[in-house]
Amino acid sequence: MEKICEKMIFKPAYPYVDNAVVHGVMSKFNPGDRILKAGTQLHPACSPLKHDLRMLQDVAVKMRDGVTIYTDIYLPADMKEGEKLPVLIAWSPYGKTAGTAPRYIGLFNMLGMGNKWSSGLTKFEGPDPDYWCAQGYAVCNPDPRGIASSEGDITMIGSQEAYDAYDLIEWLATQEWCNGKTALTGTSYLTFSQWFIAATQPPHLTCIAPHEGLQDAYRDICYVGGIPDPHFLDRLQVNHVSMSGAQREDMIDEMYAYPLASAEIWQDKRADCAKINIPAFVTASYSNTLHTMGTFRAWRALGTDKKWLRIHDSQEWPDYYDMHNTEERKKFFDRYLKDEQNGWEETPAVRYAVLDLEGDNKTGLVADEFPPKEAVYEKLYLDGTTRSLQNEAPEKEMALRYSPDGLPVRVSFQKTFDKTTKFVGYPKIKLYTEVEGYDDMDVFVWVQKLDKRGNILSESVVPNNGAALHDFTQDGASTLRYKGVHGRLRASMRHLDPERSTDICPYYSFSQIDKLSAGQVAELDIILSPIGMVFYPGETMRVVVSTKDEIGSIMPGTPGCIPDNKGTHILHVGGQYPSYIQLPVLPD
């Protein structure tokens, strides 16, 4: 860990505002053992506590290198003498008492969720202690090293965080109130930290419940498709606040200092999920443009044979806090943290969704694997003459020209279905491309569904469908509105990793830069986001190849990636250049 930290680039952390407002009403450093009474309302937007809770606040935990971090621990107030509980851990830099922070209260109001589902003790994206303590669990909300009062310098994603969490887990297991079993839970950052932590195999980490989160910092957030994307990363790093004058790792500076994935620092930020050998209940969606690819990649790589996958049709936060889903997560935890013989193993290995974007999505569809073994991969070829998708490769070769500086900035191809057709699995697209007047090109692919009248369909995945949110999601905020399958690739980063790449899922090495020369036709294999979609008779699939990210940035107020497109793009189709999209067809 010391060696990898020497490769990191550090800057001063942002100052921690210790006013019991910015970071939540209980955010002041206040070590102690106290009782929070039922009926207490921490914030007007949140629900009053339903149960008496014991809060161990700002408990010091020493890491292996002598650094002390601080954590809050919640226990049922009515624990009997000698009673021992399993622990749920929410590992992230988001502030252990920030459940009542204005930024999160405002976020959930904007999404239409409100905040009444929370007691206010809920760490952002983590479990609510008021619910879980009443179910016989302890909840641990740590501030990682450097955050708030915790000592040390702040690192982000990788082995330092993972081994700090390892040390916390092993410390928790020795506490007199702990039964020696722990689990990790939460969404987003609280999921991708799970991949890294579980891969270190802490002896007392019993199971994990990842709920949508990236797996590889380079591929999933910094250089998606080899195209630099620093803006959302900058949004995350604002959470790196300290009271002690800590330094914080600046991954944006690291992006430009280490532009290839072969750099040691990016190898450290790719979780080795094959080392995860404990039960894992994984939740995913097709629609999360930040987390979908990493979640499915991690699921495929898991080293445990005790793994379950549920694919939903919502956004991660409303899905995670939905009471039915919370109770199912409890059943999983009860089985492995309390040894209850509750039939969890009878849960189907995979439950997937098929979306229609017209109000009749199907969820909870059962399979032994994903995609279902019945899925057959078929190719649809791009026909330049008719601008259609054909079952056979066109004999006539065509070169279709489009430019980032003119209209149109894209070319597209369509297929109208004459019978109900379902696609479930991993799509990809192969394109033969050329650029005039430059030496590189960024290619964006978007697979749309059109209704019988040719209208482009999309679907809100959060409760709020108001005008203001439509303003954001029309051209961006892609995690809040599902617009279809997508993918992107910088042509100079097209080199495939021969060990990890398959015909179904291309995997780029991102270890070399191969610029394009004049007249060179480059063969691009572009992995697309997983699909679960049905097309009814008369409906149309449209495949868009563009010079820009048509689906937009990840969240409101955050710009998207930084394309490097100049000159004229040429897409070759037909003849010796049989460009095609490969799709997993699920027979009736």
Is pLDDT at 2 greater than 80 in this prediction? no
Q: Residue 547: what pLDDT?
A: 97
Interatomic CA distance for residues 70 and 62, integer angstroms:
9
> 530 by DSSP, 3-state: which?
coil
- pLDDT of res. 315: 97
Distance CA 489, CA 509 (A): 12
The answer to whether the beta carbons of residues 504 and 379 sit under 8 Å apart is no
**Per-residue model confidence (pLDDT) at position 406:** 85
Question: What average pLDDT does the chain have?
Answer: 97
Structure tokens, 242: 């300290």
What pLDDT, in 10s, does the model give residues 426-476? 999 999 999 999 999 999 999 999 999 999 999 999 999 999 899 889 888
pLDDT digits (tens, 9 = 90+) for 511-566: 999 999 999 999 999 999 999 999 999 999 999 999 999 999 998 889 999 999 99
- The alpha carbon of 240 is separated from its chain's Cα centroid by a whole number of angstroms, namely 20
pLDDT per position as a tens digit, 353-374: 999 999 999 999 999 999 999 9
pLDDT at site 1: 65
**Are the CB atoms for 239 and 22 separated by under 8 Å?**
no
Percentage of the chain with pLDDT > 90?
Answer: 96
Summarised one tens digit per residue, pLDDT across range 387-410 is: 999 999 999 999 999 999 988 999
Mean pLDDT of 188-205: 98
Instruction: Please give, one letter per residue, the 3-state secondary structure of 236-301.
Output: HHCCCEECCCCEEECHHHHHHHCCCCCCHHHHCCECCHHHCCCCEEEEEECCCCCCHHHHHHHHHH
Q: What is the mean pLDDT of residues 569-584?
A: 98
pLDDT tens string 23-77: 999 999 999 999 999 999 999 999 999 999 999 999 999 999 999 999 999 999 9
Nearest to 441 by CA among 413, 475, 402: 402
The amino acid at residue 529 is S
β 442-450/485-490 pair status:
antiparallel
Q: Residue 203 to residues 1, 90, 200: CA-CA distances in angstroms? A: 20, 18, 9
d(CA 458, CA 483): 5
Q: Which of 461, 278, 314, 302 is nearest to 370 (CA)?
A: 302
Among 174-178, 376-380, 435-439, 470-474, the minimum mean pLDDT is found in 470-474
pLDDT in tens, 404-425: 998 899 999 999 999 999 999 9
Integer Cα distance of 350 and 340 in angstroms = 22
- Cβ pair 173, 79 in contact under 8 A: no
| Per-residue confidence (pLDDT) for residue 260, from 0 to 100 | 98
SS3 209: strand
pLDDT above 70 as % of the chain: 100
End-to-end Cα distance, the chain: 52
Residue 117 pLDDT: 97
